[in-house]
Amino acid sequence: MKLVLVGLPGSGKTSLGRRLAATLGWPFVDTDDRIEAEAGASIPELFRAGEDGFRRTESAVLARVLEGPDAVVATGGGIVLDPENRARLLDQRTLWLDAPDPVLLARCRDGDRPLLAGDAPTRLAGLRAQREPLYASVAEGRLVTDGSEDAVLARLRAWAALARIAPGALWGPGARHQHALVTVGPSPGALVTSRAVLQHSGPLERAPSCVLEVPDGEAAKRLAVVEDLYHRAVAAGLERRSWVVAYGGGTVTDAGGFFAATFLRGVNWVAVPTTLVGQADAALGGKVGVDLPEGKNLVGAFHAPARVFLDPVPLASLPPSAIREGMAEVIKTAILGDAELFHAVERTDPTAASLGEWARRCAEIKLAIVAQDPRETGRRAILNLGHTVGHAIEQVTGYAVTHGQAVSLGLVAEAHLAGAVLGVDVTLPVERVLAAWGLPVRRPGLDPRALVAAMRRDKKREGARHRLVLPAGIGVEPRMAVVDEAAIERALTILNQPAGSD
């Protein structure tokens, strides 16, 4: 796999690329360095000899680099001018680095830049106008590099982790229709979705002939539903080479991913989440499964999607209730890994663009953690923050409490428990931001004993004690604690009390 950096002169492709490669332990390749080594002349000298010849050499070098071993690759600013180069970059993990023009000009001041000779600001503006659409056409995202290099590098590392755990992830408007790409091939493909999603999305571009509908909501996550998918898939002639596309909310991607993990001992699948819950959490990381009457997700598998398409466009049309559901996952992720995001979501009138950015940031955080621990044998467990108690609430209430509401209540209970067990008090900020989004922080009538009994069926239980993820601060990585049931019951009583009474 190649992690390719594109962008205008001065955007930091070489300096940041070299540091990123060092953190990954990968080779670093600068295409300009390769060109100079092969030609025995500097880039300015080659330009003065003729730009057309330089571009031909540049294209040949890029082709050879992309055929080589895994590497971080920094490219020349004009690499995207050649259509064949753009086609090659579409097959790689390509990121566009950018900065405001004054920053780029300051960084280029001491170098010999033939294309900026003379009136540098005017020439740079012309390069931007010409190349910006081309960078956008090949890159899966744009990263502004005018902050501290360490902060930018942290974002680059998160992107690299995403690239490694979800090699085919695509971002941006229109991505949900790109699932057509994976249904073209030597074998039939299947689209797992729900009727509500199909009705809302309108006509799909090149939809596969095999459309497997599942019920809406949690009802999709039943063994009987997945068994029906098996029968219909056999009748449709699906085979080991077939792709499965799960197109919908978190329950659709859970069920569709589990179907893909188990049909014919596993086929490739693609996640196309259309809800904030799905984009921020549920469709990511490859944990797929279905429910039993005894509890949530008790039957499942680790089966990472080969590709993930995250499109902010559907988020703009979500009803307020669906946005609230997703914000429970966004807030959870902010608590465990991003204080800046936590403060950003305190604003409760986001645009569609900011919702998409929040979902993307959550995806980066989650997938960076998953990359380190794909099968949840260690650090990945921190992603269960709010969910151990939340799943118990869902089960005890017969799913009358929705997933987002249950996670919200779980975050409150676990914040209170952190105060008792860890001596860390984050209750007030957690409750404040949840309540601001209309998420519950109390639920009268919940029986702590019944919740603890439901938690005994959780996969993370250790005998009569429970392994819980407890917040250690806002934006601070949570801590795992083994807690006895009496302490859990005491903490759960807070959910029956009026807010602010503790």
Instruction: Tell me which residues are annotated as active site.
Output: 265, 287, 329, 366, 376, 380, 384, 387, 391, 403
Best CA proximity match to 73, nearest among 57, 58, 83: 58
Which amino acid, one-letter code, is at 434? L
Best CA proximity match to 308, nearest among 166, 428, 430: 166
Convert 46-66 to b/e letters by CB count within 10 Å (16 or more is b).
bbeeeeeebbebbbebbeebb
Q: If you ran DSSP here, which 8-state letter would residue 240 be given?
A: T
Residue 72 β-bridge partners: 3, 28
Structure tokens at 113: 């830049």
Concatenated DSSP letters for 193-235? EEHHHHHHH-SPTT--SEEEEE-SGGGGS-HHHHHHHHHHHHH
**What residue spans of 68-203 are helical by DSSP H?**
83-90, 101-108, 120-138, 149-165, 195-201
Answer whether 401's CB lies under 8 Å from 348's CB. no
Task: Report the Cα 396 to chain-centroid distance in Å.
Answer: 30
